[in-house]
Structure 1
Amino acid sequence: MEIGAIFDWDGVVIDSSAAHERSWELLAEEKNLPLPADHFKKGFGRKNQFIIPNLLNWTQNTVEIEELSYRKEELYREIIKRDGIDALPGIKELLQFLHSREIPCVVGTSTPRINVETIIDVLGIREFFKDIVSAEDVTHGKPDPEVFLLGAKKIVREPNRCLVFEDAHYGIEAGINGGMKVVAVATTHPIEDLGAAHMQVHRLSDLNYEAMLDLVR
């Protein structure tokens, strides 16, 4: 069964939304920059390099964008190291199930690699992932499917035989754009807003594994 699994990180493996939102707030305070009230939901799942110039309108200067992005993620990691973080319900069990079926898994995320590397060992789940595709590996962020298509190549699977696990609208769109089957988890958005995905669950612990696999059989 030549099936593969590609996991978004934030909102699928971990719920880091509060830490990410707080890091944007701290950055705005630190740099004395305005922060629109609805910025977080609009930007969730997008790369910082898109959010900073297009959603926040902080700067169009590429050097300044990279500096702000780096500082934002630094603040995020400080919060995680201080407060800790847990895996979302059902993720470890799902990874163990896929491992038992010899279905290779890869991370496909808009998150910087160092953030994933910081957390993956803390959670004790590195053994389940063949590789990580992160923000640094792609030119085009979600909803472009580049990150997921690269993930499929990493695990040597055809896109139409890959399951994508996502929580964000842009990520769901990216998976569909890549010709993959998308399982959406209602971590960030209400389940009724995730209808574009091929399967929706409140949490990964609710998954019917056989029905999930039927999507790509």
Structure 2
Amino acid sequence: MKPALIFDMDGVLVDNTPVQARAFQLLFRDLGLTTNARQLLKRLNGMPAGEIIQSVFRHPIPQKQLDIYAEQREFLYRTLYWSKRRPLPGLTAFLEAARAEGFPIGLGTGSGGPTLSYILDHLDLRRYFDVVIGKDDVPKGKPHPDTYSLTAAKLGVQPLDCIVFEDALLGEQAAYRAGMRCVAVATTLKAANFQAPLTVIKDFVGLTPTRLLELLAQQPKAPKPQKRRG
């Protein structure tokens, strides 16, 4: 059986992290906060929005209020990104090739239902994925392994037979905690920021399923997660 390919969504299927950061920055401004959202996301990207927002405050915020803030940020993000939605270069060709060669394909993201639809359905990408797991399907988001562990289980594949595509440090750690290997997508971060990916790509142009198998053979075990990165 071919290994499973598991994709994060934001920053991997689409290059939307700068817009996500802008939406957070506008929310912070409205709340009177001076946190630099772009720098914040370099560390915490991949976590659910409510948890990212909570990290900015020095005191606990009631969950109901965090949900309201997250909804405000989501509205800002969708408004800013509305006319800019497009797949990362080479993505659809790579997905077509992987499906043709029989690779199981899953999506594991910290985004929820409406946000998933905003990207997947608008860009007609959902048809490529055998399994889609979002924040509402797991008790704990990244860097916990739940998102990727559940995606693998739904695909019927063992963790060691999974390759995760991630753009975020916490997402890479989630993959390693799940016992999987990872391809880093450097849409936001530099290659040197990642721990131990199979390879680092800026987009999917030129990447082939055959090349992935070659890289997998060069890293027979999943890297151990680093606590300081998670």
Is the shorter-chain TM-score for this pair beyond 0.5, marking a shared fold? yes
**What's the TM-score, normalizing by structure 1?**
0.90
Q: CA RMSD in A?
A: 1.9
Tell me the residue number matched to 2:226: none
Alignment-mate amino acid for residue 35 of structure 1 = T
Structure 1: gaps of 5 or more residues: none
3-state secondary structure, aligned to 1:103: coil
Tell me the residue number matched to 2:177: 177
Tell me the residue number matched to 2:35: 36
Partners of 2:208 and 2:5 lie apart in 1 by: 15
Partners of 2:10 and 2:77 lie apart in 1 by: 12
3-state secondary structure, aligned to 1:205: coil
CA 1:119–1:202 in structure 2 vs 1: closer, same or farther (change >3 Å)? closer
Alignment-mate amino acid for residue 33 of structure 2 = P
Partners of 1:56 and 1:43 lie apart in 2 by: 14
CA deviations over 1:132-167 (Å, ceiling 9, x no partner): 111111221211110001111221111111110111
Tell me the residue number matched to 2:27: 27
3-state secondary structure, aligned to 2:111: coil
CA 1:194–1:40 in structure 2 vs 1: closer, same or farther (change >3 Å)? closer
Structure 1 stretch displaced more, 71-80 or 142-151:
71-80
Tell me the residue number matched to 1:84: 84
Structure 1 stretch displaced more, 206-215 or 187-196:
206-215
Alignment-mate amino acid for residue 66 of structure 1 = D
CA 1:77–1:58 in structure 2 vs 1: closer, same or farther (change >3 Å)? farther
Alignment-mate amino acid for residue 202 of structure 1 = K
CA deviations over 1:110-131 (Å, ceiling 9, x no partner): 1222111112122122210122
Aligned partners of 2:164 and 2:175 also within 8 Å: yes
CA deviations over 1:34-70 (Å, ceiling 9, x no partner): 0312323232111123212223447521111111112
Alignment-mate amino acid for residue 81 of structure 2 = I
Task: Show the 5 A alignment for 1:1-217.
Answer: 1-30=1-30, 32-37=31-36, 38-57=39-58, 59-81=60-82, 83-214=83-214, 215=216
CA 1:195–1:202 in structure 2 vs 1: closer, same or farther (change >3 Å)? farther
Alignment-mate amino acid for residue 50 of structure 1 = E
Q: Cα offset for 1:208?
A: 4.6
Alignment-mate amino acid for residue 19 of structure 1 = V
Instruction: Name the count of aligned residue pairs.
Output: 215
Aligned partners of 1:2 and 1:157 also within 8 Å: no
3-state secondary structure, aligned to 1:5: strand
Q: 4+ runs of 1 displaced by more than 6 Å?
A: none
Structure 2: gaps of 5 or more residues: 221-230
CA deviations over 1:3-33 (Å, ceiling 9, x no partner): 2111000111001112211211222233x33
3-state secondary structure, aligned to 2:88: coil
Alignment-mate amino acid for residue 99 of structure 2 = H
